[in-house]
Amino acid sequence: MSTTSTTSSGPRFVARRSEDRGNADHGWLKSFHTFSFAMYQDYRFQKWGNLRVINEDRVQPGEGFGTHPHSEFEIFSYIVSGELEHRDSMGNKEVLKRGDIQLTSAGTGIRHSEMTHGNGPVHFLQIWSVPQKNGLSPKYYNRHFTDEEKRDKFVLTVAPVGSEGVKETRDGDGPAPVQTQLRLYATIISPGSSVSHTLKGASNGTSDSKAYIHVIQTSGYNEGKATGALVKVNDNLNLSEGDGAFSQGAKGETITIENTGDVPAEVLLFDLE
| Residue 139 included in any domain | yes
Return averaged pLDDT per consecutive 10 residues of the chain, 273 residues in all: 52 96 97 97 96 98 96 97 97 97 97 96 98 96 98 98 94 96 97 96 70 97 96 97 96 95 98 89
CATH label of the domain that carries residue 37: 2.60.120.10
pLDDT score, position 200: 87
Per-residue buried b or exposed e for 10-43, using 16+ beta carbons within 10 Å of the residue's own CB: bbbbbbbebebbbeeeeeebbbbbbbbbeebeee
Phi, psi of 20 (to 5 degrees): -95, -10
Q: Is residue 214 marked as binding?
A: no
In angstroms, the CA 234 to CA 236 distance is 6
* Domain presence at residue 7: no
CB 271 within 8 A of CB 199: yes
The reply, when asked if residue 86 is annotated as ligand binding, is no
Tally of structural domains, the chain: 1
**Is residue 199 one of the residues assigned to a domain?**
yes
3-state secondary structure 61-128: CCCEEEEEEECCCEEEEEEEECCEEEEECCCCEEEECCCEEEEEECCCCEEEEEEECCCCCEEEEEEE
pTM of the predicted structure, to 2 decimals? 0.94
Residue 207 in domain: yes
Q: Is residue 241 part of a domain?
A: yes
| Per-residue confidence (pLDDT) for residue 268, from 0 to 100 | 98
CA distance 140 to 134: 16
Is residue 128 in a domain? yes
- Please state, in angstroms and as integers, the Cα–Cα distance from residue 200 to each residue in 14, 26, 232, following that order: 20, 39, 21
DSSP secondary structure letter of residue 7: S
Choose among 255, 199, 209, 249: nearest CA to 231.
255
- What's the pLDDT at 256? 98
- Secondary structure tally for the chain: helices H, strands E: 1, 22
Q: Write the single-letter amino acid at 110.
A: I
The whole domain housing 169 covers: 12-272
Give the pLDDT score at 130. 97
**Domain annotation covers residue 6:** no
d(CA 59, CA 66): 12
Residue 5 lies in a domain: no
Binding site annotation covers 114? yes
26 appears as a binding residue in the annotation: no
